[in-house]
Every structure is written in C-alpha cells, then in structure tokens.
Structure 1
Amino acid sequence: MNKAYTLQEATTKMEKYCAYQERCHKEVVEKLRSMRMIPQAIDKIVVHLIEGNYLNEERFAQSFARGKFNIKNWGRKRIVRELKIRNISTYNINTALSEIEDRAYYKTLDNLAQKRLSQITEKNPQKKRKKLADYLLYRGWESHLVYEKIKELIP
C-alpha cells in the first residue's frame, strides 16, 4: 500500500526533490499526484515551492536547454519540442534558447555531422546524404542548416 503523506511531509519531500535537480511544474504536479495528494494540497505545495524559489520554470528551461545542447547535442527544434511537452511558456523557451551561443551551436552541428559521417559505411552518396540528414533532423537541428552542412560535407 502507498504511504499516506501529511502536507508537511509532502512539502519537505518536494523541497528535496526540487533541490536535487531543476524541475518544471508539470513534473512536480505529477510527482505529487503519484503520492496521492489532493488537488488543494498540490496547489498549496506548488505555491510554497515557487515562493521558496525551489521551483522556477525560467531557471528550469535554461538549465534544460544548456544540458540537452551541451551533453546530448540536441538542436533548437528538439529542445523547443521537449520544453513544450513540459508546458513551458514561449517566453521561457525563448529565454532558454538565448543560453545557446550561435558560434557554439554551429560548431556543435559541424562536429556532430562530421563524427556521424565518419560512422556511415554507405557508399552511395545519395543514401549517405539521407542517413546523415535523418540523424541530424532527428536530433532537432533545423533543416536548412542540415542541408547546407550536407552539401558542404558530401559534394
């Protein structure tokens, strides 16, 4: 049987949950629901977390964008899609994207494309281009950037 939490226990648990790693409102609400908290308690706890600065969507979005770009090499489109799934506002998404410098963005695309190209064993240039394009598009890179890069790498 699931443990029943008092408001204070749930609040303390959520403070730790948010302190451990940046969270978005949606994750916190889902976690509280999984703890079988009633909607009024969820609202009260979320307000407490925001006031205590445990929960900050702008900070979450910035951290998320930086992490996914630097560690997973995601493009802007994939980052935007994932933030929208988490119900992050357009303002916060734009703020988060401004965390990524253009120079670093293009350099990462170049490195990613070259690394992937070296792994593709396909001999047919057309199929090679398609494989590289599919890979980069899946990772959320803008199509015009992907096709420019492919023209440059596979003449």
Structure 2
Amino acid sequence: MWRIWQLNCFAGRAFTALELRKKLHGKRYPLHIIDSVIADVKCKGLLNDDFYAESFSRSRWLTANWGPRRIKQALAQKGVSETVANKATKQVFEEDDPDMSNQDMLHGMSKSSMDRLFVQASKQWLRGQDASPEKRKARIIRWLQYRGFSWGVTGFILKKLQSQFPP
C-alpha cells in the first residue's frame, strides 16, 4: 500500500521534506513512520530540497518575474533552509556562467537576468503612458518591490526606463 501512495504522491509535483512531513502528518501516520518514509524517499533521490529550491526559483523567475527576496520568503515557508534558498537564487539570478566576471553583475544579477527584467518592466512602464510621470514611477517601484527586487535593482531599472522612454 505504501508503494502505491508513494507513486501517487510524487506523480503530481515535487515536495520539500517539510511539505511531505505535513502531508503524512495530516493523514495521521505515526511520527516514526513519517521519519522512516522521509529517510527512504531521500535515499532514493525522490526528495531533494536543493533541487526543489533551484527548480522552484527558476520557475518563479521565468513565469512570474519574482525576485530573489520573494522567492526566498516562499522557500522559507516551504521549509527550505536559508542556505539552500540563497544557493538556489544565486544559481538562477547569477546564472553560473564560467566566463562571467564580477563586473558583468549588476546588484547581484547577471546581465542577462537584468536585461530580461528590464524587458518585463518596460511592458509595465509602457502600459501607463497616460499617467503622470510620478504615477508611472510609483507604479513601477511597487511592481518591482512586490516581486522581491532590492532597492538597488529597482533604482537601476527605473533610471534605465526613464532614460529609454523619456516623457
């Protein structure tokens, strides 16, 4: 019976160790069984918080334009350690390019990540063309901050938008 549940559980989506622990606890399994199951699936490679964190980070960055801070908060809620979350967001936003030097980094983001963010921010900026410059500025700041980007990234993108699309 456990094998069937195991296959069904992991067929839908990946889990962190904490999420699986909560799921099993909710089904009223004894704690020693829960610990045994988690150890078993980790041993088989079916449960890996490092892989989960990197996959989750990349997904949220590419589909929802979430920034590092928001991704780290979501990972913390899922029980991923701060160290693992930092490593995952670093992999996604710095894109571990061996040819990239520290000079190619802007506020903790690779040039390609910053360029991608600028394209998305440009779409938001151009949507509010009928609004005053102050409202457009406030709107883009809220948009970037809500998504979890630092003030350094927000300021850089804002200056670039204002120079690229003058009023």
- TM-score, scaled relative to structure 2: 0.79
Q: Is the 8 A contact 2:67 2:147 kept in 1?
A: yes
Unaligned runs of 5+ in 2: 96-109
Q: Give the RMSD, CA atoms, in angstroms.
A: 1.8
Q: Is the 8 A contact 2:19 2:79 kept in 1?
A: no
Question: Which residue in 2 is equivalent to 1:5?
Answer: none
What is the CA distance between 1:148 and its match in structure 2? 1.9
Q: Aligned residue pairs: how many?
A: 147
Select 2:67's aligned residue among 71, 75, 84: 75
Higher deviation after alignment, 75-84 or 90-99:
90-99
What is the CA distance between 1:140 and its match in structure 2? 1.1
1:1-155 paired onto structure 2 within 5 Å: 9-10=1-2, 12-100=4-92, 101=95, 102-154=110-162
Misfit runs of 4+, over 4 Å:
none
What is the CA distance between 1:94 and its match in structure 2? 2.5
Higher deviation after alignment, 138-147 or 11-20:
11-20
User: What is the alpha-carbon distance in structure 2 between the residues aligned to residue 11 and residue 78 of structure 1?
Assistant: 35
Q: Is the 8 A contact 1:18 1:55 kept in 2?
A: no
Higher deviation after alignment, 17-26 or 69-78:
17-26
What is the CA distance between 1:124 and its match in structure 2? 1.6
Q: Is the 8 A contact 1:24 1:56 kept in 2?
A: yes
Unaligned runs of 5+ in 1: 1-8
Task: Report sequence identity in percent.
Answer: 23
Q: CA offsets, 1:88-119, max 9 Å, x none?
A: 12221122123222133202210111011122
